[in-house]
Structure 1
Amino acid sequence: MLVAAAVCPCPPLLVPEVAAGAAPELDAAREACDEAIGAVLAAGPDLVWVIGQGPRPGVHRPGARGSFRPFGVDLDVYLGAPDESADVTLAPSLAVGAWLLTRAGWTGETRGHEVAPDDSAFAGADGAWRLGEGRTGKERVGFLVMGDGTACRTVKAPGYLDERADGVDSRIAESLRTLDRDGYLAQLDAGLAAELKISGRAPWQLLSAAWSQDHGDDGTGRLLYEDAPYGVGYFVASWT
């Protein structure tokens, strides 16, 4: 059973060593991530899946390694217990998730699932929940779902300014707050997500499908953070 989920943004700038002098600008986001992840760990999961977008879709086993060296920082992270002999395989979104879990003090079993930007395979609940339960036999599973909203909120944003971005991010925020009861995340179009440079679409859809299968409309959703520093929509949510 999926017992709780945290939704967090995935910019490497969340890691203070990467952000350097700009680190305080995301202090509120980090604190919200800590709260959301704390709620997952308080639910007593046997396993935490870190789910995020990346170029090599597939499952990453415990001990998988990520690195922030491409961002100028000599810092490696791992899914759970370190395997220093492992190659660097984690996409940046999963590496940020691994860093957040280490920051939270999680030492239990951790696995990663990397999804492609246009992946819709997990929009159906049956496929989604086999990820969390069928492959591992764990009865209590937590999700840490990594992804950003639009990257088109200002003229200085990575995707420049798109007038649709504010409205889309508002819908995303409301759906994260309400356990996606309106189905907006589950139906978010891959083409629109690509145009607005949304990296959270496929991970959020996986979460929505898994939660719906296990809990229906039951549960509590909280939106802990919503902002657009650097013109990118960042959200932190807690589903319990």
Structure 2
Amino acid sequence: MIIGAAVCPHPPVLLRELAGQHDTAAPLRRACTSALTALLKLRPEVIVVVGGAATSGVHHGGRIPVREFGGAQPDRLGEPALPLSLGVGRRLLDETGAAPAVELIAVEWEAASAQIERLAQQLAARPERIGLLVMGDGSARRGSRAPGYVDERAIELDKRIGAALATGDAAFLSRVEPHLATELLVAGRAAFAVLGSAVTASGASVHAETHYADDPLGVMYFVVVWVCAFS
């Protein structure tokens, strides 16, 4: 049973080792901590972290990917790095504290609807009290400083995604078009779709609260909490 979800972005600067002397990510990190605290108050038995990656799969361990983004980190005997989305999610949980059991699931960036639906159905059918930590960025094409420079379509798509997250519109999140999301560098498309499809499959109604919505450096970041209720 999915009892709620926290949506957080996964820029590398959320890892403190990469934030620099002037931690410009501090407000965003505080918003993520606030959202996770709200999720943990729902008393989930397990937190399932879902994030986009190059390939889909379940991760049973792995180091936080600090070295891959220029930070210093011990090798830890060659332990492979988690995908960035899962690594940031794991770190946020560690810093928030008091998390129950944690599972890490990567979903291919351009995963087809059938794959997303299978995962969503599996999550919705589980008997435990599940809290989802959904790791995903909006478009990275929102300005001249953005990694993907500028695409005017990005503003409208992010507006619609933000509205869906803010109102608990699970159906919209499950049908964002993968090709458009790829063109607009929406790194959260697959993870958002899993959230939307899983909550729809569960039959829950949603109370949503937005903790953060802004686009520093031309990338849109959302921090949102969903609380699920069943009639």
User: Taking structure 1 as the reference length, what is the TM-score of the superposition?
Assistant: 0.87
Which position in structure 2 is the counterpart of 1:80? none
Task: Measure the CA separation in 2 of the matches of 1:53 and 1:5.
Answer: 16
Q: Give the Å deviation of 1:16.
A: 2.4
- Pairing 1:150-189 to 2, within 5 Å after superposition: 150-181=139-170, 183-189=171-177
Q: Secondary structure at the match of 2:51?
A: strand
- Shift of residue 127, structure 1, vs aligned partner: 3.8
- CA distance in 2 between partners of 1:227 and 1:190 (Å): 22
State the distance in 1 between where 2:96 and 2:163 align: 26
CA distance in 2, matches of 1:214, 1:131: 9
Matched, 1:40 2:39: yes
Given candidates 187, 200, 215, the residue that maps to 1:199 is 187
Structure 2-normalised TM-score?
0.90
Q: How does 1:1-240 map to 2 (within 5 A)?
A: 1-23=1-23, 25-61=24-60, 63-75=61-73, 87-119=79-111, 120-124=113-117, 127-131=119-123, 134=126, 139-181=128-170, 183-216=171-204, 218-240=205-227
Contact 1:133 1:139 in 2 (8 A): no
> Which runs of structure 1 show a deviation greater than 6 angstroms over 4 or more consecutive aligned residues?
none
CA distance in 2: counterparts of 1:127 and 1:103, whole angstroms? 27
CA contact (8 A) 1:45 1:141 kept: yes
How much is the aligned-residue C-alpha RMSD, in angstroms?
1.9
CA distance in 2, matches of 1:21, 1:192: 37
Partner secondary structure for residue 212 of structure 2:
strand
Q: SS at the partner of 2:25?
A: helix
Deviation at 1:234, TM superposition (A): 0.5
Q: Using the TM superposition, give the Cα deviation of residue 156 of structure 1 relative to its aligned residue in structure 2, in angstroms.
A: 1.7
Q: 2: distance between equivalents of 1:55 and 1:143?
A: 20
In the TM superposition, residue 219 of structure 1 has moved relative to its aligned partner by: 2.4
Aligned residue-pair number:
225
Structure 1 alignment gaps of length 5 or more:
77-83
CA contact (8 A) 2:38 2:225 kept: yes
CA contact (8 A) 1:122 1:205 kept: no
Structure 2 unmatched runs, 5+: none
